[in-house]
Amino acid sequence: MLENIGKPDGPKIIVCCGSGGVGKTTLSAAIGVHGAMTGLKTIVLTIDPARRLADSLGIAEFQEEAQRVPLEGVVAGNGELYAMMLDAKRTFDSLIVRYTPEKLQDSIFANRYYQHLSNNMAGSHEYMAMERLYEIYNQGHYDLIVLDTPPSRRALDFLEAPQRVMNLLGHQFFLKLFKPYMSAGRLGLKIFNLIASPVFKAVSQIMGNQAMDDLFSFFKLWNDVLFEGFRSRAQAMESLLSDPVTAFIAVTTPQSYPLNEAVYLYHQLVSRNMPFAGFIVNRVHALNDLAQLNGVFEQLTDTKMLDAGLLEKLKKAHARFLNLAESDSESIIWLRETVKDTIPVHTIPFADGEVNDLSGLVKILKHLK
């Protein structure tokens, strides 16, 4: 899965997707370390990462500006690693600053609809993650960008949410409906026609006039100054994600919920002709012939070196682990049968401890090669 990283035609962008709690952030960091180790100037974009992860990368804390991760002695050639934390609201704000004349910026920032959109609306975090990715890619400062997608219940949210945001903001129907009322001139007067319609009356009766006013003034600004910029960027982002410079990795654990989400994501990516690099199944209880014991418990009893209580506990621990290992193994077999033979499926054993330092991240990489 990682073998192409560093090759001339290898991926320049790696997007780690997966449902919440599967270990995406740690794996993204490990892949970033791998990038630097192969000599690439690499950046990991992440969201609200663990304290422990910042620690293991040897940086005080993640910040919104790119920070250099000290990797001396580990990296090859010109390899470097940077980490950056994503902030949806700030990214959105900086887009407004870029596309909007200065005199209009304050009114956008003060608009309640905008405030909601930029911070709270479902999909805005995912949209902004994509936006940052696009921006950093175009600046061309890095050879490899690893994106840890925002936490969500569903693995597909990252792909769908930006489209959803664009659908709302660039909705053809919306334009048709409101454009006549939004052209320059006396907005209030033109909106009057719309407001007089019974449908609209009913809706604003429910929503309240103030909310409708905010919505209108935001969309007027949006339409006048922002729409074109956003639309062309959204299209460019979409084509960047479909380009072979990008590789999607689906991260999961052996439980059925994240596993089904990962497979669903895979099917969606394939049907959209998007580049899929493989699955990582994290936290696997490795089977490794665990069931094959040649009389070890009897032999241990015979040695009389362990007391009976401890021996029983060892039996119990082994039985429990075996149980989980068998169940994990079934999940992985199912996954391999479900997806095409050519799709890589890597498994990472459930570690005894936590990843606390760089060597922990490097250890993970061993399983991805």
User: What residues numbered 304-333 form the site for another protein, per CB under 8 A?
Assistant: 305-306, 310, 313-314, 316-318, 320-324, 327-328, 331
Site for another protein in 236-255 (CB under 8 A): 253-255
Strands (E), the chain: 13-17, 41-46, 67-69, 80-85, 144-148, 246-252, 276-284, 345-349
By CB under 8 A, name the one of 7, 8, 103, 173 that touches another protein.
173
Nearer to another protein by Cβ, of 103 and 176: the residue is 176
State whether the Cα torsion 311-317-320-324 is positive or negative: negative
Rounded Cα–Cα distance for residues 209 and 92 (Å): 26
By CB under 8 A, name the one of 211, 225, 245, 270 that touches another protein.
211
Torsion of CA 349, 352, 354, 360, to 10 degrees: -60
Rounded Cα–Cα distance for residues 48 and 56 (Å): 15
The answer to whether 152 contacts another protein (rule: CB under 8 A) is yes
Nearer to another protein by Cβ, of 137 and 218: the residue is 218
Q: Are strands 80-85 and 67-69 parallel, antiparallel or unpaired?
A: antiparallel
- Which helix (DSSP H) or strand (DSSP E) does residue 310 occupy? helix 308-338
Site for another protein in 65-124 (CB under 8 A): 112-113, 116-117, 120-122
The answer to whether 153 contacts another protein (rule: CB under 8 A) is yes
CB of 180 to another protein, least distance (A): 14
In a 13 Å sphere around the CA of 354, the CA atoms on its Cβ side amount to 7
Site for another protein in 10-69 (CB under 8 A): 19-22, 25, 50-52
By CB under 8 A, name the one of 60, 189, 199, 308 that touches another protein.
199
Nearer to another protein by Cβ, of 62 and 142: the residue is 62
CB of 111 to another protein, least distance (A): 10
Nearer to another protein by Cβ, of 272 and 320: the residue is 320
CB of 102 to another protein, least distance (A): 25
Both tokens of 73, joined, read 């002695």
10 Å CB burial of residue 111 (0-12, 13-18, 19+) is: buried
Nearer to another protein by Cβ, of 42 and 152: the residue is 152
Distance of CA 10 to the CA centre of its chain: 20
Residue 103 neighbours by CB distance under 10 Å: 7
By CB under 8 A, name the one of 76, 110, 296, 333 that touches another protein.
296
The answer to whether 299 contacts another protein (rule: CB under 8 A) is yes
Nearer to another protein by Cβ, of 307 and 341: the residue is 307
The answer to whether 354 contacts another protein (rule: CB under 8 A) is yes
DSSP secondary structure of 184-201: SS-HHHHHHHHHTSHHHH
